[in-house]
Amino acid sequence: MSERIRIGGKTQADLDAEYAEEDRQRTNAIARTYLQETDWYVIRETETGTPAPRELHVLRQVARNRIVENVE
């Protein structure tokens, strides 16, 4: 069975792939923003020895794990 053509000549598979890519980019952006916003805790800990909040390292690892690189 052939795929049905959608708006603009795109198939459902094309639309699904676009949605998945947009979702990947959105998830990556959120995770990277969190890492950037909390970098100062890690820098402070490294430079001064002042500990970062206990859960910060776990949450940063979760953010890193959520980043999905472009797979082709």
Domain boundaries, the chain: 8-66
Q: What is the DSSP letter of 5?
A: B
Give the pLDDT mean for 4-12.
77
pTM score, whole prediction: 0.78
DSSP string, 11-70: BHHHHHHHHHHHHHHHHHHHHHHHHHHHHHHHHHHHHH-PPPPTTHHHHHHHHHHH----
Q: What is the pLDDT of residues 32-44, one digit of tens each?
A: 999 999 999 999 9
Q: What is the pLDDT of residues 11-27, one digit of tens each?
A: 989 999 999 999 999 99
Mean pLDDT of the chain: 90
